[in-house]
Amino acid sequence: MTAVENDLKQFKTEMRRFKTETVTSHQDSNMNLMLVKATVDGSYDRIASLRNQLSDFRQDVLDRFERQENHFDAQDAHLDMHDKRFDVVDKKLDQILQLLTSLTNKS
């Protein structure tokens, strides 16, 4: 065989190896890309789920604060009622004290 034939044979061998490596590399790249895509899709689903959970938690907290605010308003109204009643009793006691003081001064 001549040098040209040897070079051609070596070139063909190298081309076959290059073709095999290229196909293998392409398959590996596709596999890695699919793994990355699956990971990203899974992460996106988990993030969406977490967003929904946080939204639900936020709504629950807001509902709880609203119920607590309503409870405090009811307690304030109840205490205001007692304040008014105590004011009336206090006025009556003042009147009784004035009456007793005036009766004591007359005696």
pLDDT digits (tens, 9 = 90+) for 4-44: 888 889 989 999 999 899 989 999 999 999 999 988 888 98
H-helix or E-strand containing 2? Answer: none
The Cα diameter of the chain in Å comes to 152
H-helix or E-strand containing 34? Answer: helix 3-106
d(CA 39, CA 47) in angstroms, rounded, equals: 12
80 is written with which tokens?
Answer: 């205001």
pLDDT digits (tens, 9 = 90+) for 64-91: 999 999 999 999 999 999 999 999 999 9
User: How many other CB atoms are found less than 10 A from the CB of residue 95?
Assistant: 10
Show me where the domains of the chain are located: 1-75
